[in-house]
Structure formats: structure tokens, C-alpha cells
Amino acid sequence: MKKLLYWTLAIYVLYGIGMAWYLLGVADISIPPQWKGTSADPATFLTPKELELSGEYSRWKDLLFFLSIPYEWLIYFGLLAFGVAQALRTWVKRAAKWVPIQSALYAFWLSLITTALLLPIQFAVYHLSRTYGVSTQSLASWFRDRMTDFFIHTVLLVLTATVLYWLIRRFERRWWLYAWMLCVPFMIFFMFIQPVIIDPLYNEFYPLKDKKLETKILALASKANIPAEHVFEVNMSEKTNALNAYVTGIGSHARIVLWDTTLQRLNEDEVLFVMAHEMGHYVMKHIYWGLAGYIVLAFFGLWLVGKLIGWSLARWGRCIGIRRLSDIASFPLLLLLVSLLNFAASPLVNTVSRYEEHAADRYAIELTGNKEAAISSFQKLTKAGLSEVNPPLVVKIFRYTHPTMLERIVFLKEYAPPLQEE
């Protein structure tokens, strides 16, 4: 296993060199000739310096993303290959007699170890965004957010390990099915509480301060038959210069949220287009369709994890000292498989998300009818976040949950409103 790990490390280094060569050197991010000099060409709305910084920042950010995913896999694999996972199992058995407590302790220490090992690459991402002026967050604030991440991640991991390994011991063959059955209400519950409990741990939310603008937004919501009473503003200017707005939560806890940076950088017509886009998600029930999609993916994902982990332990269990799945030391292997499948599913998930975002763009332009404001809002989003207008294909496939800025602006330029019936 150690030899296999060393070979894996060598492959990771070669992979990193290859991705750096591709993203920093040969990847084509140029604008197609037919769109040069138009409003879709970043050279028309970014200064030469901003254009240069945008390319540099996006390429380094993409490289860190593609390095971080397999780096996480290496952590789990290394814990198994060097016996750390097994030693931790021995320690928790000595520390506690009750099996659920052993599972909880194991998950806590596993979370602490993985968080510490992932921290350097997370800091590199933070330092990059600070260097290029996208992030305005202080180091102390960034560290507080990482501590909050650790707390939430650890609580979820402890609950997962405790319940999951109880199910594995109780239902050796069908544990994955019962785990999925428990996942469904948990995902619904988590989406319900996220806007009111989780999100406020990171940022301050409050009703939109500009009441005149809120009146116009609510009038737009009424036009779309949305029973909205408030629009929420979140204080993001102390952390970033980027712009954003989003819809989150379900049921009575659903919220339409605007970053204060969006309000500071966009004019009124541009804000109304952005809000119409978010209203499109609400009207087309994308939150509910997304939840249904994740429930289906969770079913097939857990089934596949059950098959793969059984095969892995039969093939290599003796080498790593883990004979049965009920052994809590198999938890890093289970998390490794989940991470691998999440990455494998990301192109499909991103494709569906891009389709929904395009549908929301179409809805927004049909609701507002202001093409100029729509195009300028996307240009300002690009400028504030130093985003790539036309990213490499592999980046789009694995990273982009929205259509590229080139695709969005081109759609608006070519958009023709539907004919109105007499």
C-alpha cells in the first residue's frame, strides 16, 4: 500500500505539472472572432490591466481547484496506507467502551486531521484572491470562517459516522438503502434551516435598506406572481469586491438575497434585472427540482459506494488491516469514494445548473425587457470578480454552474422578445 501511495504521489505531481502547463500556458481563452469588438468582448469593458489580471487570476484559481480535489483524495488514501486510520480506531476503542461514542470520537479526530491538512491549500486560495484585490477579508475574519466551517463539518461528520456505522452493523447488506432513506428528510431539513441558522453564522443579513428600491423589487415580484414581503441584504463588502445575488431555502424560509456589493456597484435597472433572474429560479421551482435531483443522485451514489467499498475491502482489506465495513477505520475509505463520485458527477450537476441559470436569464429579460441593463450587469460582474469571459472547456465542465459570461452576453445580444398576441 505504501508503494501504491508513492506511485499515486508521483502521478499527482505529474498531473499537477500537466494541469499547470495546460491552464497557465496553452489553454485557449480567446474570444471567437465574430464577437471581437462587441459587448461580449472583455476588451471593450475591461482596461488592459484588468484584462491581464483577469486572465492571471482565473488561471491560478482554476489550477488551485484542480489541485485541491485529488489532494483531498491523497489525504484519505495516505491515512489508510500509513496506518493512521487504523491507529485512530485502536485509540478510540481504548478511550470509550460504547460503540457510538467510538464512532463520534473517530469522526471528530478525522475531521481535525483533514481540516489541518487542507488548510494550506485553502489559505493559498484566500491569499490569491487578496493579492488580486477580489477578496477584502482580513486574515482574522478568514480564520473565523474556517473555524465555523470546521464546527459545522465536524458536527455533520460526527452525526454521519454515528448513524451510518450503526446502520452498517444493523443492516450489513442494505445499509446504503436505509442511509438514503434517512438522507432525504435530512436534506430537506438542512435546506429549510440553512437561511436562518447556517448562513447567519458567516454574514450579517438584514432587510434591504433602500426602501425605494425594495418597493420596485416587490412590484416586480408581484408582476411575477411571487408572494414576496422582503428582500434581504447581506454585508459582503468586508469580505469581497465580487457581486452576487441568490435564492436559498425552501418553504416559508426561502429568501432572495442581495450582496451589498451588488447594490453599491450596479445601478437600479441592473439590480432589477439581477433580482428578476433570482425570481426566475423561484417561479420555475429550481430549488425544488434541485433538491429532487440531489435525492436521486444520493440514492445511486450510496448504492455505488456500497458496491465499491465492499469490492475494495475484499481486494485490499487485508493489506490495510480492515477486514469488515463495520470497522470504523473504513470511514476514510468511504469518504474517499464519496468524494470521487461527487467529482465524477459534477459535470452532470453543473450541466443541469447551467441550463437552469440560462432559463432564469431568459425569464429575467422577458420580465424586465431591458437588454442594455442586463448586458451591463454581466459586464460589471465580470469586472468586479475578475472572471474569465470564455474559460477553457475543462474548466467550464467541472467548475461552471452558470453559463460563461460570453454565452450569457451573446444570448442577450441575440435575444428577440416573443411576439405579443393582439
- Is beta strand 232-234 parallel, antiparallel or unpaired with respect to 255-259? parallel
Cα–chain-centroid distance for residue 59?
A: 18
Quick check: is 210 catalytic?
Answer: no
To the question of whether residue 357 is assigned a binding role by annotation, the answer is: yes
Catalytic residue among 41, 327, 361, 407: 361
- Among 412, 416, 417, smallest CA distance to 39 is for 412
User: Measured between alpha carbons, how far is 63 from 145 in angstroms, rounded to an integer?
Assistant: 23
For residue 130, how many other CB atoms are within 10 A of its CB? Answer: 15
To the question of whether residue 238 is assigned a binding role by annotation, the answer is: no
Quick check: is 238 catalytic?
Answer: no
CA distances from 243 to 240, 324, 385 (A): 8, 49, 7
Q: Which long-range contacts (CB under 8 A, 24 or more apart) does 167-171 make?
A: 168/325, 168/326, 169/99, 169/326
Q: In this structure, are residues 218 and 231 in contact, taking their beta carbons and an 8 Å threshold?
A: yes
Burial 275-290, CB ≥16 within 10 A → b, else e: bbbbbbbbbeebbeeb
Catalytic residue among 278, 327, 356, 407: 278
User: Measured between alpha carbons, how far is 31 from 409 in angstroms, rounded to an integer?
Assistant: 12
Q: In this structure, are residues 242 and 134 in contact, taking their beta carbons and an 8 Å threshold?
A: yes
Look-up of cell digits 433602500: 210
Q: In this structure, are residues 335 and 73 in contact, taking their beta carbons and an 8 Å threshold?
A: no
Binding residues for Zn(2+): 277, 281, 357
Provide the annotated active-site residues.
278, 361
